[in-house]
Structure 1
Amino acid sequence: MSNGTETVRRPHGPLARLPHIDRVWLVLAAALALLALIDSDQAARSLRFTADALLGVAVFLALSIGVAAFAKASGADNLIARAFSGQPAWMILAAALMGALSPFCSCGVIPLIAALLAMGVPLPAVMAFWLASPIMDPSMFVLTVGTLGTGFAVYKTFAAVAIGLLGGFGTWALLSAGALQNPLREGVGNGGCSARVVRAPQPVVWRFWQERDRREKFRTNALFNLNFLGKWLALAFFLESLMVAYIPADTVVGLVGGESVLPVVIATLVGVPAYLNGYAALPLVGGLIDQGMAPGAGMAFMLAGGVTSIPAAVAVYALARPPVFAAYLGFALVGSLGLGLLFNAIY
């Protein structure tokens, strides 16, 4: 998932007495200060652009924060356990749907996958969840509606499920052929902050506000996500302002514009190293589309980047054996390219 808990290393010695400053906010402040030295007029315009853009998505931001906090406080994330039981085909379908719709923190997705595999959950269902999970979640859907429109959000949700199904049924076929045995690396454990939802699922408490601990969990999660989403969106809108100011629209059109296959291929491949964060990518892709980027290329960039970005890929590589990792990347890239081309054709 995209709205994750970030592990912060506290400094020791004299630095420990200094107030902690989030690195994203620090980078944003430093970038704005540097821009002010180089081009003070553009710094003022970028600041206004960022503030106006944040104000424009404020309602969607608040709604997405509320959805994520409600899921945590009520225990609705426990519903994930139901996706991993039944016949293989139904299990794959349920896992892909739950992966696209369930909010999970980024610190918990990888250990959760390890827990599922260690408990003997079939790899096809795990692969379906694994691929669909980073592409879409309820908070991402709401913010995508606010930045790129309802059509883009609905299709991206469909694409998340489709890529999950591709990976799930593709893995099933590979397993039937004798491949992808023993998916976990040696020594990989099955712990993690989200593994308990599969090991010992608890009933959902929809009226969470009646319990003090759950009200506190709602408040804590909402504040965390306000900071998490706020900082990434602020950085993304700031970068979008620079992109609009300094990158000619003709350049964008020349690289990733038009209805041919090449722009979607380029966007799919570029999405792997260039992807920052699922939330940060929304305004950046919106700005590129406004400058002439093909909608299918924007979709392919977000799909491929969400699954195969360097941080996510490194985490998967650390967990899975090389053949499973290669299958993960292959399904993600093929699915992103195909669904990007389809979006280009029907947009």
Structure 2
Amino acid sequence: MFDMFTRFADWGITLLGVSKTTAFGAAVHFFLEDFTKIIVLIYVLIFTVSLFRSQLSAEKVKAYLSGKSRWYGYVLAVVLGIVTPFCSCSSIPLFVGFLAAGIPFGVTMAFLISSPLVSEIAAVLLVGTPGAGWLAAGIYVLSGCLISVLGGYLCDRLQLIRWIQPDSFLPEKKSSPCRCCGCGKERKSRISRIKELLKYAHSYAWNTLRELFWYILAGLLVGAFIHGYIPQAFFAEWLGRGNWYAVPLASVAGAPLYASHAGVIPVIQSLLGKGVPLGTALVLLMSITALSLPEMIMLNRVLKWKLIGWFCGFLILSFIITGYLLNMLI
């Protein structure tokens, strides 16, 4: 499925007159292959997901949950978290909207955890990553879903809603009819609605790609440098299986950072290529995308610091357990 991107990179380094066997050639090949792969996949995936996202509203989610069990709500929230926003900061407005609409607190927390933690973009890219593949992608998605459901359940079980900011339950303002799905009073033909929906999906995918471009470029440059210039022995010493602190270090490494999945994946690909264990690499991916200082600052408008502390502690502990288990089993 990804051979065309490899062939493009082969053609690119041949055109540039560099050899893949050199450090510079390996770095350039990595950059060209992953740049084209990520750009194409992000556009296609976001375009597709946008068709679903355009129909989503807090009121519809509340209607789906009406009369259903709480466990159904957790699972639905995780699914919505996977297929809607693409970074932690973009998921917070939806999280607040769900709270304002009266959706149960544990369900909204399951959404908040899964939204940045699990990404269909990251899963697809992991499938095409040497050293990862379908197994790694499946484990990444499954572990993220389990962590999200467990987090939502514990929030309800421990009644952590008492640590939410009082004004978080302000009634949600009624939004004007969206132009993308033809839900306004004016009746439009089916063809007209489809055209507007496709136009919306293209616009959203293109704008999202533009917003992510610099994160992608930064991640690719870091990944290419690691791939071409940092020896494998360095990672074996610091992040190898023999180091007990590698997983805890990876679980907290992402806290000071803010990056999208698309920007982190090239770095993860390079680490896997250098022999970093799968569990450690996936923990680093989840840490960078789900734990970031900007997200915590934004969440303080909704959650009290006690709940933010519990939120971070729960994720870090979950990441550490996940990393150790994966490194033991794979």
Please give the range of the TM-score, normalised by the shorter of the 2 chains: 0.7 to 0.9
The yes-or-no answer on 1:257 pairing with 2:240 is yes
Aligned partners of 1:84, 1:77: CA distance in 2, in Å? 13
Aligned partners of 2:165, 2:118: CA distance in 1, in Å? 25
What does 1:226-305 correspond to in 2, within 5 Å?
226-258=209-241, 261-274=244-257, 276-305=259-288
In the other structure, the counterpart of 1:337 is: 320
In the other structure, the counterpart of 1:146 is: 128
In the other structure, the counterpart of 1:52 is: 33
Query: What is the TM-score when the length of structure 1 is the normalising length?
Result: 0.72
Secondary structure of residue in 2 paired with 1:227: helix
The yes-or-no answer on 1:320 pairing with 2:315 is no
In the other structure, the counterpart of 2:14 is: none
Alignment check: 8 A CA contact 1:271 1:305 kept: yes
Aligned partners of 2:302, 2:287: CA distance in 1, in Å? 20
Structure 1 unpaired stretches of 5+: 1-40
Mark the CA change 1:118 to 1:137 in structure 2 (over 3 Å): closer, same or farther: same
Secondary structure of residue in 2 paired with 1:254: helix
In the other structure, the counterpart of 2:96 is: 114
Alignment check: 8 A CA contact 2:121 2:261 kept: no
State the shift of 1:57 in Å: 4.7
Residue type of the alignment partner of 2:325: L
Secondary structure of residue in 2 paired with 1:181: helix
Mark the CA change 1:209 to 1:163 in structure 2 (over 3 Å): closer, same or farther: farther
Mark the CA change 1:105 to 1:293 in structure 2 (over 3 Å): closer, same or farther: closer
Mark the CA change 1:58 to 1:93 in structure 2 (over 3 Å): closer, same or farther: closer
What does 1:44-193 correspond to in 2, within 5 Å?
46-47=27-28, 49-57=30-38, 60-73=41-54, 75=55, 80-81=61-62, 84-85=65-66, 86-103=68-85, 108-147=90-129, 148-175=132-159, 179-181=160-162, 183-184=164-165, 186=167
Aligned partners of 1:157, 1:277: CA distance in 2, in Å? 16
Mark the CA change 1:55 to 1:288 in structure 2 (over 3 Å): closer, same or farther: same
State the shift of 1:173 in Å: 2.0
Alignment check: 8 A CA contact 1:64 1:140 kept: no
Q: Report runs of 4+ in structure 1 exceeding 6 Å deviation.
A: 41-45, 192-197
Secondary structure of residue in 2 paired with 1:133: helix
- Once the two structures are superposed, residues 6-38 of structure 1 have per-residue CA deviations (whole angstroms, 9 ceiling, x without a partner) of xxxxxxxxxxxxxxxxxxxxxxxxxxxxxxxxx
Alignment check: 8 A CA contact 1:95 1:129 kept: yes
In the other structure, the counterpart of 1:26 is: none
Query: What is the TM-score when the length of structure 2 is the normalising length?
Result: 0.75
Secondary structure of residue in 2 paired with 1:319: coil
Residue type of the alignment partner of 1:307: A
Aligned partners of 2:200, 2:102: CA distance in 1, in Å? 31
Aligned partners of 2:299, 2:305: CA distance in 1, in Å? 10
State the shift of 1:297 in Å: 0.6
State the shift of 1:220 in Å: 0.7
Alignment check: 8 A CA contact 1:268 1:300 kept: yes
State the shift of 1:286 in Å: 1.1
In the other structure, the counterpart of 2:17 is: none
In the other structure, the counterpart of 2:290 is: 307
| Identical positions, percent | 20
- Once the two structures are superposed, residues 156-197 of structure 1 have per-residue CA deviations (whole angstroms, 9 ceiling, x without a partner) of 11122111112112112211xxx5415125478566999999
State the shift of 1:54 in Å: 1.9
Mark the CA change 1:187 to 1:81 in structure 2 (over 3 Å): closer, same or farther: closer
Secondary structure of residue in 2 paired with 1:318: coil
Aligned partners of 1:174, 1:53: CA distance in 2, in Å? 44
Aligned partners of 2:88, 2:191: CA distance in 1, in Å? 24
Aligned partners of 2:106, 2:177: CA distance in 1, in Å? 21
Residue type of the alignment partner of 2:223: E
